[in-house]
Amino acid sequence: MKKRIYSYLIAASIVVASSCKKDIGNYEYHDINKVTFSEFGELGVVNAVYGKPLTIKPEVSYTMDVKGDPSRYSYEWRYVDPADRKIHVLATTKDLEFQGVPLKANSYTFFYRITDKETGVTFDKPFTLTVRNEINEGWMLMTDVNGKAQLDMLSLEVDNTFSTITDLLAKTSSGLTLKGKPLFVYGFNLTTPFVAPGINTGDYALYVGTDQETNRLEPEFFKWSSIYNAENEVYGYNFPENFHYDVIRRAGPNRSYMVSNGDLFCYDRTTNIRYSTPLNFTTSTGTLFKVAPCIAVNESDAFVSCVAFDVVNKRFVKHISPSNGTVSTFTDPPAASKKFSYNIGMDLIYMDYNTSAKEVFAILKNASNQYWLARFTPAGTQSYFDLLPATDFDKAEKIAISPDKGFIFYNVGGKVYKYDVPTKSTTTVFDKGTQKISVLKFHAFHNSTGFIKYKDGNKLIVCSYDPALPADKNGKMEMFNVPTLFTDPLTVDKTYTGFGKVVSLHYRERN
């Protein structure tokens, strides 16, 4: 039996070997029609603007089809969507032509594919399509045009210049018509996406506020829906007529504080504690008190406590944890280090957080119409308290404190002053004459800590307007370099014009 099996195996091996030997040299090789492409864009990158026309007409040649008969080929413009990491087909034409690019702002890996229908062979040309929003980044300007609120913008271009866009909500067909007098525009990134009832607008919140209402906008294309009204963010609150936010501030990566009609609210997205019961009440008595429409928070850091001012009892209060249902009072330091009592008994004129000193700067007025500067940490350590004898400070209209130099800037009419705290000296920075000043500030860039992209946080921003010019074009925004020496003059860094009277401004950042 074994001998018979071995005989079969040997015979089969001979047949296989023989057939393989006969097959050698029987293949025939033919050239196929190959496709070659021109380069797309510069270094394989094509730049486009969302909603704007785009045309890509590739120069294509074929090795065995001199005329390039289009009926012989099929075409696909394929791309990988970063959102779902799937391949999608955008078009099936030889050329890519759009009156308005439909893809959202992002960078896409594209493949232009040509298939030779006679051979079934496909050829791909890879390139990158970078789509940006025309209004992707830049200065958002809440302006006053004949007493009405209008949102304008200085939009950052690819060459790092800014173009002026007036009436942004109309130009983007936002769907929102601003009602009332302008108050503010403000935006901030979140580590945790912003979610409210029926709302999920991603990881950026952009607010526009007037004296009649506050609304949020979809952050990429500024679209609006009625569910974006601020009333949908606040739970269980007895809304007054024309409910609106007076101020809103980011406090760390996932928390924000808001003041409305003297009530203070906290929204913490990590614990999902939302704006609801006001925090400004006395625990022992349960009575509410009003807080000033200015709060001190570190907008660009993870230290998220909020300092507020009780205007009824004339004292500083603070809110540290979202689990705390009310603000708490400060404990005065021991006598040896005490410079003032937190139950200060004065009126608050100005308050903000200084990122360089990591302190709260507060300017107050006593019953004798004297002005005082108080400096302290949110934890309660006091560093300074003294009179502020600046020239004509009783007439000050806008106030701003340099984050790195500590100079106090303020204006009286068109004249801007600078006050030096250590020497108690005042100097005139410049005088704009008949022009009016509407904004005086140093902007707190939220991505400044650990980033190098935004470097203008130490520049003084002055927004002015000329009443003699048309209301929609009379505004000006200037950014000034602030020298280290008090006696050195300020120098103009940037100037922008072509919009209305600026009431508030905020930079729409990108990581």
pLDDT digits (tens, 9 = 90+) for 178-209: 999 999 999 998 877 776 666 666 788 999 99
Give percent of the chain with pLDDT exceeding 90. 68
DSSP-derived pairing of the beta strands 87-91 and 138-145: unpaired
Highest mean pLDDT among 17-31, 35-49, 238-252: 238-252
pTM of the predicted model as reported, rounded to 2 decimal places: 0.79
pLDDT digits (tens, 9 = 90+) for 480-500: 999 999 999 999 999 999 999
φ, ψ for residue 84 (rounded to 5)? Answer: -115, -5
Number of domains in the chain: 1
Structure confidence at residue 282 (pLDDT): 83
pLDDT digits (tens, 9 = 90+) for 117-126: 999 999 999 9
CATH number at residue 45: 2.60.40.10
In a domain, 122, yes or no: yes
Task: Name the DSSP letter for residue 101.
Answer: B
Highest mean pLDDT among 17-26, 218-227, 282-291, 416-425: 416-425
| 461 Cβ contact list (under 8 Å, min separation 6) | 400, 439, 440, 441, 442, 443, 477, 478, 479, 480, 505
Q: How does the average pLDDT of the chain come out, rounded? A: 89
- Residue located via tokens 């709060």: 295
In a domain, 90, yes or no: yes
pLDDT digits (tens, 9 = 90+) for 462-478: 999 999 999 999 999 99
In a domain, 305, yes or no: no
| Residue 237, Cβ density class (10 Å: 0-12 exposed, 13-18 middle, ≥19 buried) | middle
Structure confidence at residue 20 (pLDDT): 47
Q: Is the pLDDT of residue 26 over 70?
A: no
Where in the sequence is the domain holding 92, given as residue range(s)? 35-132
Structure confidence at residue 488 (pLDDT): 95
In a domain, 66, yes or no: yes
Tokens (6 digits) for 45: 């990158």
